């Protein structure tokens, strides 16, 4: 038996690591992976609350989060490829203009 609060703390730590990665990383692909880490942390708290309140809707919501993450990564990685083609760099400090 594990208290619900332990799951919430673990989910909070994962989310915090994701935010930290978003702030300190300079590679655009790693920043993108930090976003996935944040989504995973939120998923854990969804499932923990679903088990705690005996509501299966929480698990359904995890699927919608996964679908949105899949769509987001497909479009985002395509944008990264397009950015790399025009600028030949992945460093976000050098990608500060929308138009060349």
Partner 1 sequence: MSIHLIMFIAFGVVCVAGAINLLAQSHPINSALSLIAVMGALAGEFLLLGAEFVAAVQVIVYAGAIMVLFVFVIMLLNAGAEERTQGSRVAIILGVPGMILGSVLLAWVVLKHSGTQAVAVGALPGPPSTIGQLLFHQFLLPFEITSVLILIAIMGAVVLASKPEAVQKRKEH
Interacting residue ranges for partner 1, rule: CB under 8 A: 1-10, 12-14, 16-21, 23-27, 29-30, 32-34, 36-37, 40, 43-44, 47-48, 50-52, 54, 56-57, 59-60, 62-64, 66-75, 77-82, 84-85, 90-91, 93
Among residues 85 and 99, whose Cβ is nearest to partner 1? 85
- Beta bridge partners, 91, equal 27
> What is the dihedral angle through the alpha carbons of 33, 73, 14, 40, rounded to the nearest 10 degrees?
-150
Q: How far is the CB of 55 from partner 1 (least distance, A)?
A: 8
Map residue 27 onto helix, strand or coil. strand
Q: How far is the CB of 98 from partner 1 (least distance, A)?
A: 14
Measured on CA atoms in the order 6, 10, 15, 20, is the torsion positive or negative? positive
């Amino acid at each position: 038996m594990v208290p619900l609060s332990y799951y919430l703390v673990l989910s909070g730590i994962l989310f915090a690591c994701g935010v930290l990665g978003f702030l300190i990383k300079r590679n655009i692909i790693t920043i993108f992976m930090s976003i996935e880490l944040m989504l995973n942390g939120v998923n854990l708290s969804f499932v923990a609350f679903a088990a705690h309140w005996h509501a299966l809707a929480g698990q359904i919501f995890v699927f919608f989060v996964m679908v949105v993450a899949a769509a987001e990564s497909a479009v985002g990685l395509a944008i990264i490829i397009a950015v790399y083609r025009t600028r030949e760099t992945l460093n976000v400090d050098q990608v500060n203009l929308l138009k060349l």
